[in-house]
Homo-oligomer: A and B are copies of this chain.
Amino acid sequence: MPSFVHLYILSPLPLFLTKHFIKLPTLNPLFSPLNLHNFHPNYNYLHSKFVIKMGSDGNDSLSLDSIRKTLIGLEDTIVYSLIERSKLPLNSLAYQSSPFPGGFHGSLMEFLVKGTESVQAQGGRYQSPEEVPFFPDNLPPPFVHRPVNCWQGLPPAAASVNVSKNIWDFYVNQFLPLLAAKGDDGNYALSVASDLACLQVISRRIHFGKYVAEVKFRNETEAYTAAIRAKDKNTLMNLLTDSKVEAMVMQRVAKKATVFGQEVTLNATSNSNNYKVDPSLVSRLYNEWVIPLTKDIEVEYLLRRLD
């Protein structure tokens, strides 16, 4: 296990401070804004020490090495989740828009993702720079608040930088038909749960670009500052591109698909080329979408870095 940055928040907190961490949970309607004018000072989650780390794979400082370690860990998660989704057929009905009685208009996928995000947001998700909801509008506020220290010193501008819409669009319209075989088995909710796992980890990977950009900025502040002041996107893109690393990443994720996607039997580990998800498709995911969108995030973040 990596070591964590231990940033304890003294407990019990003075009462005036609790307002910043504790909000009333609500069991009210999923998709409507909620009344959160009351606070609940006795809430259990308050009486805790928080140990903050960056992202789910926790590293102990904001360095390019520690960030790369996290990104490499997320590659595993991405490959696992793609393998899971590829077990199910496309189930395309889940992605077609339809008016729902009750007022909601959208696809079953939109309904399920929006609903799940609302529940998770109440439980404290979407408060760190790498966690971005796909449906931020009318998201109920959290009742478990993470201390701002999980921002690792990133400026507030980081919050407004996101490419969630692009991630959703490429995943549903371009990538998913390549990943899942044609067919319909009626397992719509299961398919979408699997899609959400894919989307959330891909989004986390891409939005980690904010940390990447911050570290690169700190390492070459002068060069980046000049390009930012000139609003020179091309120069920024050149500064932050490392083609050698990108090629390595694409090779590595393909290799992970061969290792994690093989049939494991007791007698032998299969050496056939019958992997659960096509390794070249995982490479392509990174080449066409994950890496370019990460760089978009980095550029957008940098352009607001000096605000």
Q: Which A residues have a C-beta under 8 Å from some C-beta of B? A: 1, 4, 24-31, 38, 40, 43-45, 48-53, 56-58, 73, 76-77, 80, 83-84, 87-89, 93, 96, 98, 100-104, 108, 111-112, 115-116, 119-120, 122-125, 131, 143-144, 146-147, 150, 181, 183-190, 192-193, 197, 248, 251-252, 255-256, 259-260, 262, 264-266, 269, 276
Contact = CB atoms under 8 A, between A and B. Distances in A.
The dominant DSSP class at the A interface is loop
A123 B188 contact: yes
Contact of A183 (B4, B143, B192, B265): B4
A46 to B, nearest CB: 10
A125 B190 contact: yes
Copies of this chain present in the complex amount to: 2
A98 B45 contact: yes
Contacts of A83: 76, 80
Contact of A266 (B48, B255, B265): B255
Contacts of A87: 56-58, 73
A191 B269 CA distance: 32
A124 B188 contact: yes
B58 A189 contact: no
